[in-house]
Structure 1
């Protein structure tokens, strides 16, 4: 019984290692993570219901999950032999297409949820009234850009 629990818990460790490795190696995953943080921060200006927050979390989780799956497919089919080159390229393209399709759907959900001109118009005034929040936003943006665009780690 103890070994079953150990193997079960070990699966979480492997998953965490995979996420960590992808964050280090995959620019698109870092982009999606930063976008998710800013979306969740922006959501605080809205009176979203629990269902709307659930939809946001599903979209964020779906995009990031597909990005992880896309990265896994890319690793699995990298440098195939000559006989499998075309199929490997198509597999990578299809996995990237899955991310794109879900990302566009998530963006449409975001547009439906966030397109409230009265709320959007009030955000600059709120930031002007909260200079510390504005300063943190201004500082966080270049940090996010550097995080997203950091060069790939070797090895």
Structure 2
């Protein structure tokens, strides 16, 4: 049981390392946060909420797998340069495929003018919240591009 519980710690440490070292993972986290903030204005059904979470989870999970593969084949010997490069490219392609599928699902889910009117109207009636949202954008930019390992 102890090893089972410890495995959650290892997983959390892996996510933490991805947050520290992977710009794309940080971007995807920020995008997920903004999407989740917008969702309540669109009156999603439980199934639509589930689709949002599956899309977010799928993209984040594949980004973690991509990062793991990149680390595993980081410095191959000369005999394995091409296979290592191919593995990294394929893993990145998996993230791209999941991201495009999530984008398509997002377009289908958010293609509701009433939801956008509700969202904009809510923020228009709450300028302080709108200002806080606007202030979050530079913070998100720093989180994505300014944080992490340098060099």
Report the TM-score when normalising by structure 1: 0.93
Is 1:121 equivalent to 2:94 in the alignment?
A: no
CA RMSD in angstroms, aligned pairs only: 1.3
1:79 maps to which residue? Answer: 75
Q: In the TM superposition, what is the alpha-carbon distance from 1:151 to its structure 2 partner?
A: 4.6
> How is 1:98-117 mapped onto 2 (pairs within 5 angstroms)?
98-117=94-113
**Structure 1 partner of 2:26:** 30
- Runs of 4 or more, structure 1, over 4 Å off, are none
Q: What is residue 21 of structure 1 aligned with on the other side? A: 17
Residue deviations 1:96-128 (CA, integer Å, cap 9, x gap): 000000100000000000011232134323211
Which residue of structure 2 lines up, in the alignment, with residue 153 of structure 1? 149
SS class of match (2:41): coil
Contact kept, 8 Å, 2:26 with 2:143, in 1: the verdict is yes
- 2:84 aligned residue: 88
Unaligned runs of 5+ in 1: none
2:42 matches 1:46? yes
CA distance in 1, matches of 2:136, 2:60: 21
Of the candidates 51, 54, 59, which is equivalent to residue 58 of structure 1? 54
Specify which structure has the bigger relative contact order, considering alpha-carbon pairs within 8 angstroms and separated by 6 or more residues.
Answer: 2
8 Å Cα contact 2:20/2:147 also seen in 1: no
Q: Deviations over 1:4-56 (max 9, x none)?
A: x1111110010000000010000000000000000000001111011100010
Aligned residues: 151
